[in-house]
Amino acid sequence: MSHFCGLFTLPREPVPLKSIEVQLEVRDHVATVVSTLNYENKEDKPLEAVFVFPLPGDAAVCHFSATIGQTQIVAEVKEKQQAREEYDDALSSGQQAFLLEESEQSPDIFSLSVGSLPPGESASIRLEYVTELAVQADDGLRFCLPAVLNPRYEPQGASVQVTSVPASLVPYSLSFSARVSSPRPVSKVESSCSLDPLQYLNTEQTQATVKLAAGHKFDRDVELLIYYKDAHQPTAVVEAGQASAKPGTLMGDPVVMLSLYPEFPQSVMSSVASCGEFVFLMDRSGSMDCLTNDSEGQETRLWQCQGIYYDTLLLLLKSLPMGCYFNIYSFGDSYEHIFPKSVKYSQKTMVKALKKVAVMDADLGGTEILEPLKHIYSQPCIPNQPRQLFVFTDGEVSNTKEVINLVKKNSGSHRCFSFGIGEGSSSALINGLAKEGGGHAQFITGTDRMQPKVMQSLRFALQPAVEDISVTWDLPKGVSVTALSPPITTLFQGQRSLVYASAHWTGRSSKHLLCLLLSSVCRLTVHRLGARTLICSLEMEERDYDGQHDEGVKEKLVELSVQSGVSSSYTAFIAVNKGNNEPIEGPLVHRDVPTAYCCHFLHSPNKSSHIHTATHRLFSVHTLFDFSSEASSSRDADTEPKQPLRDPLLQLVSLQEASGRWVLDPALAAALGKTSEEVEKTKPALEVWATILALIWLHGFKMDAKEEWELLAMKAVSWFRAQNAPCVAECVEAGNTLLGCAVQRDVLGL
C-alpha cells in the first residue's frame, strides 16, 4: 500500500504558527538546540493546532514549555497514554494544554498539539534537544536542522499523519543562529544554505557565531558542516550529576562521555581486502525521480544530473577486488535483483550488471525496504567472504524501527553502509541502519556529489577494521562505572565512536577525589545524551524479533524516560495551564500546521505518480553512453557500451576491465584526448601500455577527484605488477611525453 501521509492544507485555511526561531549551541561535537515556535490565533474561535515535524533521529528532547502572556508552563514527561488522556481531559474542561510526542514508528517525527488557544491570543512554545554531531568523510562535523518532511511510504498497518505543502507555500518564517565553541580552533563553517559571514569571538578562534541569511525558503534542510583543527584527538567529558536527583540514579551520579576518532597509519590505510560479498540495495521508488531546486533556485531533476546511480555503480563495480562476490537489488513497493544470488566478480558479471543498471528507472512505486532486506538476509553467507551491504534511499518510510530492528538482528553476519539521498531523508533510518549494522552513514543533499562519499564508504568496507575492542577504566579506589551505551565492536578510519558510562563511588574520600574531575556544566547535556543512548537500546530490546512487546522492558524504559526528562516512543511531554480560572468556551476548531516537502508530487494516492517534465531519469545513462552495436575488434560482448559522450573521468573508468587493466583501442585514445594514430605511434611493444597511459592520465589530470578513482587505480597497479613487464621507466616516460604530463613512476605505484 502506498499513499500520502495525511491531507494537504487548503490555502484558504489560516495557519496559527507564525514563526520559528532556532538557536544552536555547539560544544565540540555535541549540539544543544532551542527552538521557539510562535503561535497566534487570528480567528474568532478557539483553536487546536497540530504540527507534525522532523527532528534528528538521535535527538534527546529534554525540555518543552509554553508561555502565554506572562505565564510559563513547563511540561512533564509522562507515560504516553496517560499524557494523551490528560491532554484530552484538559481540552474537554476548557483548559489550555500542550502535548509533544514522538512517533512510535520513527524517532525522527514529532507531533506538537497546542490546545484551546483563544481568539486573539498568542503562545510561544519552547522546545529543547541535544544531539551528537556525525563525522563526515572530510573530518567535518555535520549538524542538520530538518526543515523538510517528505511524505513517507506506509506499509500495510502503518500510520503517520503528516500535513504537507510545497516548500514555496510554507506560511511561517524561520530564523537560525549558531554559536560554536571548542578547545580546538574552529577552521570553518560551511552550509548548503545561505549564511551570514562567520564571526570569531576570540583571538584563538575557538569560539564563533554564524547566522542563516534571511529568507530561507524551506526547500532544503538547514545543514552546517563544522571543521576543527586536530580533529582526531580523543576527548573525555565528566559531567556532575543533578543536585536534586537521588544518588545512585542515572541523573544523580556523574556521567562520562568518551569520544574515540582514530587515525590509522598510512601503511594500514593502503592495504585493502581482496574478498567480500558486496550487496547494493538501490531505492527505485517514485520519489527518487522527483523534481527539486538547485542552489540557484532552478527546477531540476534530482541531483542536477542524469544517471547518478549508473555513475556511482560504475565506480563501485570497477573498484571491487577480483575474487569477491556481488549482487544488486532495487526496490520500490516490490523488489528486483540482477542475479538470483551473489555471483563471483568477473568481467562478464560486471558488464551484465552495468547493462541492467543502465535501463533501470525510478518506477517501482512506494518505498518498501523491509522485504528486500529480508530476502538478502535469507541468503546464506559465502564462506570467507564477509557480507557488506550498501543501502541507497531517500528514507521515505514510516516503519523505521522495524527496518532497523531487522538490521540489528542480522548484525552478526554483515556490515551495513547507508546513504540518505535528498532533502528530508530520514536521519533516524540512515543513521540507524549504519549504527546497528556496524557501518557508516552518509547524507547527500543539495549540490553534493554522491560518488566521493560512496567511494569513501567502500574504502571503509575494504580496509581493515580494529576488532575485539575493550574499554578499561583506570579509576580511583572505590569508584566504578556502568556502561550506558552498547559495546564498541569495531573501529575504522573516519568513524567516531562515543562511549557513555555512569560513575559510582563508595566512601567519602573517593567521592571527593572524583568530584575534582567533574565538569562544571550544569545543563546535564552528557546525562541526557547518555539517557537517550540507553533509551534507544531499551527500545530495540523491548520489541523482540517477532514484533512482540516485553512489558518489563517497556516499564523500565518509561521509568528511565520520566526520571531523565528525555522523551521516548512510550512517553510524551504534557503541560496543562491550570492557572486559567476562566474556561475557554465555544467550539474548538482543528488546524493542521503544514510542514514543507521539497519535491513536486502530484496530488495522487500513489507515490510513484510524479510530475515528469524531463526525458531523463535518475538511472538513465543514454546521455553517457551510446548503445550502438558497433564494437572494435579488440572487444567482445562482455564489454560496456562505447563512445562516451560526457565526463572524461567516467569515459576512462568505463573502459577498465574487471581485472584492473585497460586495453588499447580507439575508445581509450578518445578518452585520453588523443587519436588512435597518436597513441599507436608511440606504443611500446607491451601489453601494459594502455594501463600505464590511463594511470598517468588519472594522476596528471584528475587529482581533484582522486577519492573516486583511487581504489580502481590500486587494482590496476596490482594487475600491472603481476605482469612483470620490462622497461617500465621507458613506458612511463613515453606516456608522459604523449599526454603532456610529468608524473613520476613512484607516484603511480609502479
The domain that holds 64 is classified in CATH as: 2.60.40
Residues 527 and 589 in one domain: no
> Mean pLDDT across the stretch 298-303?
39
Task: Flag whether pLDDT at 178 surpasses 90.
Answer: yes
> Mean pLDDT across the stretch 343-369?
89
Q: Residue 149: which of 426, 393, 401, 362 has the closest Cα? A: 426
Residues 560 and 572 in one domain: no
Residues 98 and 213 in one domain: yes
> Amino acid identity of 524?
L
CA distance 61 to 524: 12
Q: Residue 321: which of 640, 656, 688, 659 has the closest Cα? A: 659
Domain boundary among 517, 544, 564: 564
Residues 539 and 454 in one domain: no
Instruction: Return the minimum-mean-pLDDT range out of 188-197, 305-314, 415-424, 548-557.
Output: 305-314
Q: Could you tell me if residue 619 is inside a domain?
A: no
| Phi, psi (deg, nearest 5) at residue 542 | -65, -35
Q: What is the pLDDT of residue 588?
A: 57
Q: Could you tell me if residue 2 is inside a domain?
A: no
CA distance 219 to 450: 19
Residues 458 and 322 in one domain: yes
Domain boundary among 564, 589, 622: 564
- CATH number of the domain that 287 lies in? 3.40.50.410
| Phi, psi (deg, nearest 5) at residue 330 | -135, 150
Residues 45 and 187 in one domain: yes
Task: Flag whether pLDDT at 692 surpasses 70.
Answer: yes
Residues 62 and 113 in one domain: yes
**What single DSSP character describes residue 362?**
S
Q: Which residues pair with 576 in a beta bridge?
A: 97
Of the chain, the end-to-end C-alpha distance in Å amounts to 56
Q: Could you tell me if residue 23 is inside a domain?
A: yes
Q: Cα 589 vs. chain centroid, distance in angstroms?
A: 38
Render pLDDT for 73-124 as a digit per residue (tens, 0 to 9): 999 999 999 999 999 999 888 888 999 999 887 888 888 898 888 888 888 9
Instruction: Return the minimum-mean-pLDDT range out of 384-388, 614-618, 661-665.
Output: 614-618
Q: What is the pLDDT of residue 591?
A: 62
Alpha helices in 320-360, H assignment, sequence order: 347-358
Domain boundary among 406, 441, 462: 462
CA distance 232 to 135: 11
Q: Could you tell me if residue 606 is inside a domain?
A: no
Mean pLDDT for the chain overall = 79
Q: Could you tell me if residue 5 is inside a domain?
A: no
Residues 253 and 297 in one domain: no
Q: Could you tell me if residue 636 is inside a domain?
A: no
Residues 695 and 583 in one domain: no
Whole-prediction pTM: 0.78
Residues 663 and 574 in one domain: no
Residues 515 and 580 in one domain: no
CB 305 within 8 A of CB 318: no
Between 75 and 266, residue with greater pLDDT: 75
CB 501 within 8 A of CB 255: yes
CA distance 506 to 503: 11
Residues 344 and 198 in one domain: no
Q: Domain containing 287: what range?
A: 272-462
Q: What is the pLDDT of residue 167?
A: 60
Render pLDDT for 465-509 as a digit per residue (tens, 0 to 9): 677 788 888 888 888 889 998 887 777 776 778 889 998 876 544
Q: Residue 437: which of 392, 388, 486 has the closest Cα? A: 388
Q: Which of 211-215, 466-470, 659-663, 685-689 reaches the highest mean pLDDT?
A: 659-663
C-alpha cell at 594: 503544514
Residue corresponding to grid cell 562544571: 520
Q: Which of 59-73, 261-275, 592-606 reaches the highest mean pLDDT?
A: 59-73
Q: Are strands 17-27 and 134-135 parallel, antiparallel or unpaired?
A: unpaired
CA distance 133 to 31: 7
Domains in the chain: how many in total?
A: 4
Q: Residue 193: which of 225, 220, 166 has the closest Cα? A: 220
Render pLDDT for 207-260 as a digit per residue (tens, 0 to 9): 999 998 887 766 677 889 999 887 777 778 888 888 888 888 889 998 988 888
Q: What is the pLDDT of residue 243?
A: 84
CA distance 54 to 41: 23
Q: Is the dihedral of CA 499, 504, 510, 511 positive or negative?
A: positive
Task: Flag whether pLDDT at 374 surpasses 50.
Answer: yes
Q: Could you tell me if residue 437 is inside a domain?
A: yes
Q: What is the pLDDT of residue 496?
A: 78
Q: Could you tell me if residue 279 is inside a domain?
A: yes
Q: What is the pLDDT of residue 581?
A: 61
